[in-house]
Structure 1
Amino acid sequence: MINISKKMLASDCVFVQIFGALTKHWGLGLSILGLIVLIPLFRNNKEIVDAVLAFISRIFDFIPHNQWYRFFLISLLIWIGIYALNTLTTIFSLQKKETRITWCQIFILLAIGLWILGLLLIFNITDKTINTAAFGIAASLLAWIFQDAIRGVVAFIHLRMNNLLQIDDWIKVPKYGINGKIRRVTLTTVTVYNWDTTTSAIPTSILLSEHFVNLQKMVDGKTHGRIFSKLFVMDTGSFYELSRKDADRFRKDNRITSCLPLKDIHDEMTNAELYRQYMFHWLMNNEHVSRVPYLTVSWQDHTENGLALQLTGLIKDSNAAAFEWQQSLIVEHVIQSVEWFGLRLYQAPSSFDTSSSTIYISKKPITK
């Protein structure tokens, strides 16, 4: 029975898959298979058909007089339906069939709604004689108990309607340290397979209430690149105005003129201004850095530590390893090139700087 169910679930036909999901559990499967086999045999035997119909009629005569039996029956049917839909959700997740996943979750929601409606009708809760206050308290209690599930349903509908989430999308949820690919999405839970081989299951509502990043379009190449932003604090004590001699020296430096036009190098400008222009042209000429939609090299607010130079743009290599490699090369070039312009990166004095200081404390006592 289990092998038959697996073959049906692997079919491309939706109806066959539904039947496979219903027959996945051996007890339920045998019952359904028994009905399919017996119905053709009984069809031409009037006595057996009459006996079966009489038996069913007695069951239905009994059901209306027992509310709890009717409640158990509808609960069982709803459970079977949800079980089958959850099985189909797993299969459709593996097949990456987003539309069918969404419909499965909608039918689960409808099944729960039918169960609640059946509960109201079976126990006649809609009767006007029922205490309205008691009904309101019960409804409020249920809403409080299932508040996470309700938020999850709202989040699921929002994410699906706006096409913000799909199977195999790479997402990041910084607050919860989640970084990986989506494996399953349901009304209440999103399952993510992280890059460190761990698995995270988070409520769907978190993706609506908390900040998350979907990087899939970037991975698929539907972007100008992956953003980088680096801040370098310069020691303003190394800033100075260029003399004509300094300008001539920079014009003769092939490392600088290979990126920066000679006309942009002149006296009366500062070495900090020259370096900012150099870094902009160097990034513009870097084949791994995108020129669109923006590429900026700008000075930020002055602080007690110095003046910060910020480099912001997009690296075309969106692959994680390639991106980090190119970003590291940019940082290393900044560290290497600042000395060409007589600039210094700021760093707070360390114990090494203190021990290397040329100021020594005299061993002799101070005499007046």
Structure 2
Amino acid sequence: MDWLPESLQPLLDWPYAPTVIQALVLVLVAVLSSWLSHKILRRVVTPLVRASPMKWDDALLVRGVYSRLAHVVPALVLYLGCAAIPGLPQVLVTVVRHVAAAYVVLTVALALGDLLDAGNDLYEGRGPHARERPIKGYLQVAKIVVFVVAFVLIVATLVDESPLLLLSGFGAMSAIMLLVFKDSILSLVASVQLASNDMLRLGDWIEIPTLGADGTVIDIALNTVKVQNWDLTITTVPTYRLVSDSFKNWRGMRESGGRRIKRALYIDQGSVRFMTAAELDALSRTAPIGDYLADMKREMEADGRPARTDLPSDDLREVTNLGTFRHYVEAYLRASTRLRQDMDLMVRHLAPEPTGLPLEIWCFTKTTIMTEYETIQADIFDHLIAILPEFGLRLFQQPGGADFTRAMAEGGKAAAQSPLP
């Protein structure tokens, strides 16, 4: 201790002074080793990793694996150095070595967790196949195993017992472990089923009405699946609920390239009637159904009668305005360039209801983009609603305030014009 200033020489009379000074020097060396390791990491390792053409080392750098391992250096300095300081109480040496060893185990476990995350990043960067078969759930199971083992080793190190002795006590805790990790175990089984049956992928549009989820899958983890709804909110769904409950996946619609339009016009049944010859002649000039009306006219003439002008026949087919409109709608859809003609296309009646006779449109658009799909659907029904009166048909609609006002005005006007008794 001759290098100490003369003002500090009296401290040498304290019997523990050399031990305390050496302990402080050890702490200083540990701090300097931490600073030096991080300095080497930033100045040497990082440039080498950036310059390397390989991708795995970049993933390790981004996830912080190297910086995690750099924290091991000061812990090792304390672990090895405290035993070399004479005069330290054996209890203190044991505590410092155990804490340093536990810290090393914890740091290595965190580095392994970051390593698994880096592996997931590399896997997801491989292309579309990785999005179809995510492995994030399996890696999270591996992280759970790593942290459980690390926890056992840390506890065994701190209490200075064999890890096997602690593991033997886990048998009695199995019921508690099953209760604590119930959701994780169920989700693990569900993740295996989802992956093996290809039930869910990143980017899929799914709909789960019971959980309020309707949007795109943005993350598939061990315990949860995140769905970004169309209003940009995010719904977190437990993974096992996707197996225990039912959900709708719209992936097949997107892969087919066509989205179905299924909507009905509710026809007022009181407006359905037979058409006269004048009405048929007027509609025959309408391009979509000109051929249909010509065929109907030839069929009626082949039966030995002209097109009806007054009352229907008892045994021969007549032309109704609803049937003519139905053929017009089908011809209109067949002529559309925005609909898939290679998929199902039909116009059909459904069972009559108190709100009218449903005339359902069933067809598929050539696009699956929502905005374009809604525009095509709106254009179709705009046209059909506008041309419906040309066939003498009316849509059923619940009467509103304007309807009652108009009816009362007309009733009052009729009462005013009627002669007094």
TM-score scaled by length of structure 2:
0.63
- Does the CA-based 8 Å contact 2:188-2:222 persist in structure 1? yes
1:89 and 2:139 matched? no
Match of 1:157 in 2: 192
CA 1:248–1:197: 2 relative to 1, 3 Å: closer
Segment of structure 1 superposing worse, 273-282 or 2-11: 2-11
Q: Which of 286, 292, 296 is equivalent to 2:336?
A: 286
Q: Report the secondary structure of 1:298's partner residue.
A: strand
**Cα distance in 2 between the residues matched to 1:10 and 1:141:** 50
**Cα distance in 1 between the residues matched to 2:367 and 2:182:** 43
1:341 and 2:391 matched? yes
- Does the CA-based 8 Å contact 1:289-1:314 persist in structure 2? yes
Match of 1:275 in 2: 325
Percent of aligned pairs with the same amino acid: 21
**Paired letter, 2:365:** I
The gaps in structure 2 that reach 5 residues or longer are 1-40, 85-93, 154-161, 301-306, 308-317, 417-421
CA 1:5–1:264: 2 relative to 1, 3 Å: farther
CA 1:27–1:78: 2 relative to 1, 3 Å: closer
**Paired letter, 2:226:** T
Match of 1:46 in 2: none
CA 1:23–1:131: 2 relative to 1, 3 Å: closer
CA 1:69–1:89: 2 relative to 1, 3 Å: same
What CA deviation, in whole Å up to 9, does each residue of 1:78-120 have, x standing for no partner? 4432233235435655675754984554243234346557859
1:112 and 2:125 matched? no
**Paired letter, 2:138:** I
CA 1:305–1:194: 2 relative to 1, 3 Å: closer
**Which has more helix, going by share of residues?**
2
**Cα distance in 2 between the residues matched to 1:316 and 1:334:** 20
1:359 and 2:411 matched? yes
CA 1:248–1:97: 2 relative to 1, 3 Å: closer
**Paired letter, 1:29:** A
- Does the CA-based 8 Å contact 1:8-1:19 persist in structure 2? no
Match of 1:237 in 2: 270
**Paired letter, 1:233:** Y
- Does the CA-based 8 Å contact 2:216-2:228 persist in structure 1? yes
- Does the CA-based 8 Å contact 2:202-2:219 persist in structure 1? yes
- Does the CA-based 8 Å contact 1:300-1:308 persist in structure 2? yes
Deviation of 1:234 (Å): 0.7
- Does the CA-based 8 Å contact 2:349-2:358 persist in structure 1? yes
Match of 1:124 in 2: 165
Answer with 1 or 2: which has the greater Rg: 2
CA 1:18–1:152: 2 relative to 1, 3 Å: same
**Cα distance in 2 between the residues matched to 1:231 and 1:180:** 25
Match of 1:228 in 2: 261
What CA deviation, in whole Å up to 9, does each residue of 1:239-291 have, x standing for no partner? 1123444433432x325535745214665132112211221121111111113
The gaps in structure 1 that reach 5 residues or longer are 39-50, 56-61, 364-368
- Does the CA-based 8 Å contact 1:289-1:313 persist in structure 2? yes
**Paired letter, 1:359:** G
Q: How does 1:1-368 map to 2 (within 5 A)?
A: 1=41, 8=49, 13=54, 15-17=56-58, 19-20=60-61, 23-24=64-65, 26-29=67-70, 31=72, 77-89=108-120, 92-93=123-124, 99=130, 102-103=134-135, 105-113=137-145, 119=152, 122=163, 124=165, 135=172, 138-216=173-251, 218-219=253-254, 222-251=255-284, 253-254=285-286, 257=289, 260=292, 262-264=294-296, 267=307, 268-357=318-407, 358-360=410-412
Match of 2:315 in 1: none
Deviation of 1:232 (Å): 1.3
CA 1:96–1:259: 2 relative to 1, 3 Å: farther
- Does the CA-based 8 Å contact 1:218-1:226 persist in structure 2? yes
Deviation of 1:292 (Å): 3.2
Deviation of 1:324 (Å): 0.8
Segment of structure 1 superposing worse, 114-123 or 191-200: 114-123
Segment of structure 1 superposing worse, 145-154 or 292-301: 145-154
**Cα distance in 1 between the residues matched to 2:219 and 2:213:** 15
